[in-house]
Amino acid sequence: MAEIVVSAVVNVLLEKLLSGDLMKLARSEEIDSQLQKWKKSLQLIQDVLADAGQKHITQTSVESWLHDLQDLAYDMDDVLDDMAFEALRRELNQEPQTSSSSTSKLLNIIPTYYTPHNIMYGRKISSKLDEITSKLHDLVEEKNNLGLDVNVKVERTNRRLEETSLVDESKVLGREGDKEALLEKLLVDESKVSVVSIVGMGGIGKTTLAKVLYNDEKVKDHFELRAWVCVSEEFDVFNISKAVFQAVTGEIKDFASLDLLHVALKEKLSRKKFLVVLDDVWNEKHDKWELLQSPFVDGAPGSKIIVTTRKTKVASVMNSFEPYNLEVLSNETALSLFARCALDEPNFDNHHFKSVKKIAQGIVDKCDGLPLALVTLGRVLKTKRNKGDWEELLNSEIWNLHDASGVLPALKLSYYDLSPDLKQVFAYCSLFPKDHLFDKKKIVLLWMAQGFLSKSVESKSMESLGCHYFEELKSRSFFQHSVNDVSLYTMHDLMNDLAVSVAGEFNFMLDDKIDANGRTEVFEKLRHFSFVSQRNLVYRKFKELHRAKCLRTFLPVGFEDFLTQFCSMDNILVELMPQLKFLRVLSLTNGSIEEVPQSIGGLIHLRYLNFSRTSIKQIPEQVSDLYNLQSLFVRACRELSTLPVSFVKLKNLRHLDIGGTPMLKKMPLGLGGLTSLQTLSKVCIEGANGFKIDELKRLSELQGRLAIEGLDKVIDSTKATDASLIQKKGLDDLDLEWSDNFDDRNSTVEYEVLERLRPYCKLRKLKILFYGGLKFPSWVGDSSFDQLTELVLEGCRKCTHFPTLGQLSSLRKFSVKSMHEVKTVGPFKDNIAFPSLEILEVEAMQGLEMWSTAISFPRLHEISIEECPKLDKVSIGLLPSLNTLFIRRCCERVFKSIAGVSSSIVRLRLIEIKGLTQLQGEVLKHLGAVEILDIMGCDELKYLWESESVACMFLASLQRLYVCNCKSLVSLAEKEVNVGSSMVELVREVGLAYCEALESYNCPNNVESLTIRHCSSISCLTFSNLHELPSSLRSFPNFCLKSLEIYECKNLNSFPHEHLQSLTSLEEMTICDCPNMDNSFPCGLWPPNLKKLRIGYLKKPMSEWGLQNYPTSLVTLSLYGKDSGVVSFEVEENASNATSKSFLLPSSLTYLTVSDFTEVESLSEVLQHHPSLKVDISRCPKLQNTRDNLILRGEVM
């Protein structure tokens, strides 16, 4: 099926043919008669489009005619757009005539339209018109031969559909039994992490049921951590793992490798009872699942993974032994669901609806009990109360269609019920991959650039109309809210299939499964092109695009989660772009681009231009001649320093995002005259002839975020009043920034400027940076700002006091930095100040001596105090919700004062605390809830606590301990205890790093992860009770250790390697750069369940290791071969072929890393026995050719 949206395009063409400016140009070029012919022909065609829209379903000749009409309509639109651009060009480039010379007098006599450019233009456009007029005439003739009827009408109600879902997800019809059965599986505490799979056909409601379970209150209470990931067809282990990490931590963090990501994820999930939902899984490869689930195995007993899939085999691959098969709805439930969606009634029993009950039953029967089909069609009929409309849907020919797309007939019917405008914007969504997260504002700007949002709708901006269209589609179930972020939206897989189907040959998305080369027939009519992110994307994949002469969209999709740039796109810009002269949308965001060629000025149809997150340094002057440009984005272009000199001619510009461009300090001329601007993320105030603050006056439509930099250059404070910030009601995020150089500054003027820059009171975020006034105006902190949630005061060095902030009822985050003249904070007069404050950040307050706020902060859950060297008096009220406390470069008294008024601290981080020699009992008694304790750079710290018994008494919840760079630390406890006693019973993770004085460490039985790095004095590592075991004992079940890392401990010589076989839980081990370790290690004794081993730089040369009897569980091995003496590798099976300089590899390996083996020349023998082995090679000069070959074969990690 390739339903055409030509009706919407024809409407746009007729609208453009009514344009006065365009017809004026046509008359001057004597081509207006041609355009009148176009208008008459299009009106004749428009009259039969309703009939064609029905007949093309069964008549291929009509469908072919519509295809040809759509193709020609695009060409006509290009020509009219070209003419509109030329008309605007002539208007903007008119020069005033002068009489200063005879030449100018002569020029005054000659009409301006007789210039050489205009004469050439007239010839060119006339030729195009003749060609199109001929084709249009042929289509009109063909229309007559097809027998299309002009009397067919398509009636659609204009009543607005409901925006909210009609089905409460917590009460999903007919799934109560399924929900209870699955809840029973989820809430039972099994001995290990287990998988619960929900299996069923597309549209049956697997995802909806998983959402119900995920948001159930019992589930929320049962699991400590939850994560939801849309997986879809590509089972990308890295991206799935990263999504889980972000969900459970709330952190957006980059990882250089999968290994580092898995280590971090494992740390977060360890000993936590978690629920992970993997939605829409298609993967049938067991090794990919094994790789993905490796960080999950350390979760607490009872942790669960929910998998939704269409395939039973997928469930079995993921070790789900009893997949839950979801059945279609019963007839009674299906009819009830249909009634709720179509009528807002529980059934059809009401006498008003009995006349359509039989029809409804027929529709329900055709939907085969699939909820998605029932909901979608129900919403189609929601605005139709006429019995005939219901009968028409029941009897539609579409139910009988069986095309290759596999799209459900019910979904096709819901599409055909859309207006032409909605059909058009929905079809455009075919450019995005399945499970794409849609940002409503972003997709609306793309629709606007394509001309889908008519300007003729009165009292509604194009952006508002686009949002209206989006909400309309959402109300009909074409979009749905994302599970993880309600501000984003997703599209059901079946809806995505529908979009691809209806877009047909005019839209094409390139992904890693498709190569554009060799698809010439596809590109001849192609108008919209997108490509999915690929790490190894190469230019050759785009070569065939030069055939797509009429391309309108060039769009990368799926790059939101990639922090690295996807490929070098300079070749595309230089070689391909000049040929694509009809582009409306050009986006190269995240591409590796350093220079924008001047030829971009030839893309006169451009409406949307996005170079965000690239390495460009300037935007060429030619961009200022792109008169049609609506949206220009260069966000996070860190090296961008230059924009075009003038934007005067960019009258249509509505969105300019230049945020995150620290090098950009000069604004284009004419910016203040672009009165349609809605997005202007940043302006820089300049002296002399540069941008002035009062140029903001006319920009009354500004919305969202605005940063005003360089306010120190405002000399006349009355100009700040002219900026009219208080009138800009759409702004909700405002930065006001002066220079950080305070020389020759006028405090009085700066106070008056800030006073006059008062914004509208519904502001949500405010930053005031490097302000030089002596005090803040009264509006800062005024209670009328009742929606302000975040306030940052930074670098306001001359202010001696904070503004009065306690009455900001919605303030959740307050951050104050580098206000050196503030010596005291508080007391506050009102005991109920800051009712909503959740985060308090105080940093680099060099003069702060006393903090006296005796009031309670009921919701404050995070406090960070850094670099306040003089602060030694802290008086603060109760902090009942405090969860995180971070103190850096302050005295010990600050820490004690805050810890003493809160017993709820879960995470405590202390860095460079002056005077801290030990955590005394009087402090420890308040830390009973602490789970994570990080202590770094405390040079006076000799012991963490008095004794382990004291630590056990108070730190009852401690799970992770990390001590780093504490140079005087001798031991964790001042008083030694008997070997074997547990430091803290619950602690599961211990990290010790750069503690130069630490001489020994005894690892308790309960520790699961132990890391010791760069502790140069440590000579002895022991494990509680392990030294008492006879070497013959092969297992010691009380040990929980799963991960052991020892790195660069130069003096370590005592290590219980002869008892490693007793550590049955140990799965990952790193022992590296310990040159004094006992020469007998390694000796062929390993943890029996070891999976990952990193080893090297030890006393015993690798060439002398011989047969090591690695466990069969070992799949990942990283070897560091400096001074190893190894010249070759062999597998253990071929030990007889090994030389005295060979290293024997286990046959169980899946991944191998080799580094610093300077004498090894080949891995061919190993790869012959392990053809599927993934290898990473670094700093092995004689293996460079091997590495190159592996890269070509895709076998290097």
The CB density around residue 386, as the number of other CB atoms within 10 Å, is 12
Structural contact between residues 897 and 854, judged by C-beta atoms closer than 8 angstroms = no
1000: which 2 tokens?
């020994």
pLDDT (tens digit per residue) in 342-400: 887 878 877 677 778 888 888 888 787 888 888 888 888 877 777 878 887 877 766 66
pLDDT score, position 1178: 87
Instruction: Name the DSSP letter for residue 402.
Output: -
Domain spans, the chain: 6-92+107-146, 175-325, 329-416, 420-543, 1112-1197
Residues 6+ apart with CB under 8 A from 486: none
DSSP E strands, 34-167: none
Structural contact between residues 790 and 764, judged by C-beta atoms closer than 8 angstroms = yes
Structural contact between residues 861 and 881, judged by C-beta atoms closer than 8 angstroms = yes
Rounded Cα gap, residues 927 and 931, in angstroms: 9
Topology match between the domains 175-325 and 420-543: no
862: which 2 tokens?
């995070």
Q: What is the third-level CATH fold of 420-543?
A: Arc Repressor Mutant, subunit A (1.10.10)
pLDDT (tens digit per residue) in 762-784: 999 999 999 999 999 999 999 99
Q: Kindly list the averaged pLDDT for each block of 10 residues, start to end, along the chain of length 1197.
A: 68 85 85 88 86 78 87 90 88 53 40 62 83 89 83 49 34 80 87 87 84 90 91 83 89 83 89 90 85 88 90 82 83 84 80 78 82 81 78 74 62 78 92 91 96 73 92 82 84 84 87 58 81 63 79 82 51 79 91 86 95 93 95 95 95 96 95 95 91 95 96 94 95 96 94 97 97 96 94 96 88 96 81 82 95 86 96 88 95 92 93 94 91 95 86 88 95 65 70 94 88 93 66 52 93 85 90 89 89 92 87 92 87 76 87 90 82 85 66 44
pLDDT score, position 153: 59
Structural contact between residues 22 and 87, judged by C-beta atoms closer than 8 angstroms = yes
Query: What's the whole-model pTM score?
Result: 0.80
pLDDT score, position 963: 96
Q: Is 1020 helix (H, G, I), strand (E, B) or coil?
A: strand
Angle between the 409-416 and 493-503 helix axes, to the nearest 10 degrees? 60
Burial class (CB in 10 A: 0-12, 13-18, 19+), 19: middle
Pairing relationship of beta strands 884-888 and 873-876 according to DSSP bridges: unpaired
The letter for the amino acid at 638 is R
CA-based nearest residue to 757, from 699, 703, 718: 718
Q: Is 495 helix (H, G, I), strand (E, B) or coil?
A: helix
Rounded Cα gap, residues 1044 and 991, in angstroms: 10
Rounded Cα gap, residues 264 and 780, in angstroms: 42
Structural contact between residues 930 and 903, judged by C-beta atoms closer than 8 angstroms = no
pLDDT score, position 1114: 92
DSSP E strands, 834-970: 839-843, 850-853, 862-866, 873-876, 884-888, 907-911, 932-936, 943-947, 960-964
Tell me which H or E stretch contains 286: helix 286-293
Rounded Cα gap, residues 449 and 446, in angstroms: 5
pLDDT score, position 366: 79
Residues 6+ apart with CB under 8 A from 405: 1, 497, 500, 501
Q: How many residues does the chain have?
A: 1197
* Cα torsion angle, 124, 126, 127, 132, sign: positive
Phi, psi of 289 (to 5 degrees): -65, -40
C-alpha Rg value of the chain to the nearest Å: 35
Q: What is the 3-state secondary structure (H, E, C) of 1116-1148?
A: EEEEECCCCCCCEEEEHHHHHHCCCCEEEECCC
Structural contact between residues 533 and 557, judged by C-beta atoms closer than 8 angstroms = yes
Q: Sheet harboring 850-853: ordered strands across?
A: 824-825, 850-853, 873-876
Q: What is the third-level CATH fold of 175-325?
A: Rossmann fold (3.40.50)
Tell me which H or E stretch contains 553: strand 553-557
